[in-house]
A and B are shown apart, each in its own frame.
Chain A
Amino acid sequence: MAEVHVIGQIMGATGFSESSLLCKWGVHTGPGFVSPWAAWKLLSGVREGQTQVDTPQIGDMAYWSHPIDLHFATKGLQGWPRLHLQVWSQDSFGRCQLAGYGFCHVPSSPGTHQLDCPTWRPLGSWREQLARAFVGGGPQLLHGDAIYSGADRYRLHTTSGGTVHLELSLLLRHFDRYGVEC
């Protein structure tokens, strides 16, 4: 079986209007349904997590430096891992408000990659937008899989949020044995 190591960091985020930000991240592999023939298997590492809440003092980039260390074994290329992110902002009372959803595919070529993942959030009706501006809150996705799958996206009306910056290094093993070029 071929192996993939993803080692890197969620470095931080820029371009969000709110300042105290945190990021919930997760890795999704394989098809959207649970399958006994799933090609990807996570051998070591945690599949999801949540970063600290950072309030930047210099500049506008919130820094998380959250380490990611994943070890996958795979029998196929279908369902290459996708990293999905939810950026939330926290106010001084400890309440969290959604700032953006985003996803990016884990790079497929070995080496170190700088990734910039743009984010979006659901817009809602004008009433909800007004409420969000004054009181906070706002629409959120009920099921997180709309972040990384294209299935029901046509129903959504969204606006853009900031950008999440990641640095991921890929280590591939035995891909050449199976004739895969990357």
Chain B
Amino acid sequence: MSKLCWTCLSRLFLKYYDYIFPEYDDLYCKYCFVYGQDWAPTAGLEEGISQITSKSQDARRALVWNFPIDVTFKSTNPYGWPQIVLSVYGPDVFGNDVVRGYGAVHVPLSPGRHKKTIPMFVPESTSKLQKFTSWFMGRRPEYTDPKVVAQGEGREVTRVRSQGFVTLLFNVVTKDMRKLGYDTGPPDTQGVSGPSPPQGLPR
């Protein structure tokens, strides 16, 4: 890495996530970063697990983790821009830990504050019998490596069900992008993007 003539860094703090999963409760989340081969983390933890959270008793029925993330990356090439992959797990009716959703989003490119709400989906069983068996045994279909969610290849054969949203707050700082000739456009400090949850659910 020291031979290269430039680096570009982004540092992000994920302040909190709260999310909306109407049917499920007592959830925890694992996160990891997926990036191209020109990228390397220089500081902070690339992976982590949050606490288990339950829905609040009030009308909001909010699920809050408020999990901090502080990571720095360096790179020689914007290709392979890091993505954060989230996997949410929770107990089923028999008490087994099952996956409740996978989701991924690119770390925003422009410096500033960005709030993103990402949809979460689970792989679906191929037949009704397998669906019943997996419900009964507590072994739902899941990805052997959650990082596959951040890739485009090989997804054409998967069937999924989308069932929830997670909100992330990014604060991104970059270094030397302009010096190297990159134009990231206007910093959008207002930045609320991503699909809005359906009516009736809190933003």
Contacts and interface: CB of A to CB of B under 8 A. Distances in A.
A110 B124 CA distance: 37
Contact of B159 (A53, A66, A109, A169): A53
Contacts of A66: 152, 155
A53 to B, nearest CB: 5
Contacts of A8: 106
B181 A173 contact: yes
A167 B108 CA distance: 11
Given A58-B163, A169-B109, A112 B185 contact: yes
28 contacts: A5-B79, A9-B105, A43-B79, A51-B156, A52-B121, A52-B156, A55-B162, A56-B163, A57-B163, A58-B198, A59-B198, A63-B119, A63-B121, A63-B162, A65-B103, A65-B121, A65-B149, A67-B104, A67-B106, A90-B159, A111-B184, A112-B108, A112-B110, A112-B191, A170-B185, A171-B109, A171-B183, A177-B181
Contact of A112 (B80, B152, B183, B193): B193
B106 A61 contact: no
Interface string B67-86: 00000000001111101000
A45 B22 CA distance: 36
A71 to B, nearest CB: 4
Interface residues of A, number: 49
A177 B183 CA distance: 12
Given A5-B79, A50-B156, A67-B151, A169 B162 contact: no
A177 B193 CA distance: 32
Contacts of A7: 78, 81, 106, 109
B188 A173 contact: no
B156 A12 contact: no
Interface of B: 22, 36, 77-81, 83, 103-106, 108-110, 118-119, 121, 124, 149-153, 155-156, 158-164, 180-186, 188, 191, 193-195, 197-198
A44 B80 CA distance: 9
Interface string A18-40: 00101000000000000000000
Contacts of B124: 55
Contacts of A22: 156
Contacts, number: 142
Given A59-B198, A173-B183, A71 B78 contact: yes
Nearest to B188: A112
B33 to A, nearest CB: 13
A68 B152 contact: yes
Interface in A46-97: 46, 49-59, 61-63, 65-69, 71, 90
Which of B78, B151, B191 is most buried by chain A, counting CB atoms within 10 A of its CB?
B78
B170 to A, nearest CB: 12
A165 B110 CA distance: 20
A78 B156 CA distance: 32
A176 B183 contact: yes
Nearest to A111: B185
Contacts of B155: 49-52, 66
B185 to A, nearest CB: 3
Q: Which 4 A-B pairs have the closest CB atoms?
A: A111-B185, A110-B185, A50-B156, A63-B119
